[in-house]
Amino acid sequence: MKKGVKILYELERMRKEIDQYDKSLVEIIEKRLETVLDILKYKQEKGLPIQHPQREHDVIEKTTSYLRNPEFSIEIQELFKEIMRLSRKRQSQVLFPCNIVLIGFMGSGKSTVGKLLAQQLEMEYVDMDHYIQEKLGLTIEQIFETYGEEFFRQHEKETAMELGLLNNTIIVCGGGIILNNENIVNLKRNGKTILLNTEAEEIYNRIKDDKSRPLLKDKMSVDYIDKLLCQRKSLYLDAADIIVDTHDKNIDAICKEIVGTLLRS
Ligand SMILES: Nc1ncnc2c1ncn2[C@@H]1O[C@H](COP(=O)(O)OP(=O)(O)OP(=O)(O)O)[C@@H](O)[C@H]1O
Ligand SMILES: O=C(O)C1=C[C@@H](O)[C@@H](O)[C@H](O)C1
Ligand SMILES: [Mg+2]
């Protein structure tokens, strides 16, 4: 046999070997995903917590210890992190097929909570203010300054209509989303609204040094925040499917409360 033909033959043989391993991997991963969904169903029936960060840590340790050649530890760790990320994503698609819509006053923590929730649940994430900023190529401050509040509210309304059509997404709203009930109707079509409830003093302490909110520009004080909050309070409460009090709670505790309440609802 010529040398070139022999090399091709060897390569073909090794590729066939890889194809066999891939086939076995797919069979095993399919079984693993099916079992993940069985566990999810079981946990739901028994009311057990869905997330178990320690378990993920244990799986990485255990799977790495099965290696005969420790040289591949990094690859196994990364592979299992990805497998577990995809399992979490699949679980959240089953648990939260609709959207989780965060509402609340400026500084109530919608963006911060939304990002962590999206990461924990492996859900898509859209921040309405950022979406509008990107679409118009301007900051919220520039939009208010150049075109006025009405123009911003019109874009907010169109965005609520558009994002309301999504699935399995964390939607973080602007603080004024409740000013037009049509926005809430559109967002609730395929979503549960979660109100992050916060008092004026706490809001002030969180955002007093941030100059990016046009409605609070040159008016940053506990009294002014309280006044605006009182004007909007009933709109927030009416729009909320679930209310989470954020007082003295850290972001992780707020995320846990949201997930727990949604699962029981
Ligand atoms: N539960 C909390 N405890 C302590 N700090 C918090 C909490 N939630 C948010 N913060 C802090 O408050 C600030 C404002 O939070 P964030 O930007 O998430 O609010 P927001 O609701 O998205 O506001 P906006 O409507 O203006 O976009 C951030 O610095 C954030 O780290
Ligand atoms: O509460 C509001 O009316 C606003 C809140 C922000 O998220 C931005 O949407 C904008 O600054 C207006
Ligand atoms: Mg925000």
Q: What is the ipTM of this complex?
A: 0.96
Residues 68 and 77: their CA atoms lie apart, in Å, by 14
Q: 218-233, pLDDT tens digit by residue? A: 888 999 999 999 999 9
113 CA distance to ligand 1 middle (Å): 8
Residues 77 and 142 occupy one common structural domain = no
Q: Is 109 in the pocket of ligand 1 (CB under 6 A)?
A: yes
What local confidence, expressed as pLDDT, does residue 1 receive?
Answer: 63
Residues 117 and 220 occupy one common structural domain = yes
Residue 111 known to bind ligand: yes
CATH assignment at residue 63: 1.20.59.10
Residues 76 and 112 occupy one common structural domain = no
Domain final position from 72, 94, 116: 94
Closest protein CA for atom 8 of ligand 2:
174
255 CA distance to ligand 2 middle (Å): 22
Residues 66 and 143 occupy one common structural domain = no
243 CA distance to ligand 3 middle (Å): 18
Mean pLDDT (whole number) for 15-39: 96
Residues 53 and 15 occupy one common structural domain = yes
Residues 31 and 130 occupy one common structural domain = no
Residues 7 and 113 occupy one common structural domain = no
Domain final position from 94, 121, 155: 94
Residue 216's pLDDT band (cuts 50, 70, 90): confident
Burial 192-208 (b: 16+ CB within 10 A, else e): bbbbbbbbbebbbeebe
Residues 113 and 236 occupy one common structural domain = yes
3-state secondary structure of 63: helix
Mean pLDDT (whole number) for 121-138: 96
Residues 236 and 135 occupy one common structural domain = yes
Lookup: tokens for 175: 């603080």
197 CA distance to ligand 2 middle (Å): 16
Q: Is 106 in the pocket of ligand 2 (CB under 6 A)?
A: yes
Domain count, the chain: 2
Residue 241's pLDDT band (cuts 50, 70, 90): very high
Residues 217 and 113 occupy one common structural domain = yes
Residues 51 and 105 occupy one common structural domain = no
CATH assignment at residue 222: 3.40.50.300
The pTM (predicted TM-score) of the whole model is 0.88
Residue 260 Cα distances to 48, 176, 193, 235, angstroms: 10, 27, 14, 25
**What is the span of the domain harbouring residue 78?**
3-94
Residue 87 known to bind ligand: no
Among the bound ligands, the one closest to the CA of 195: 1
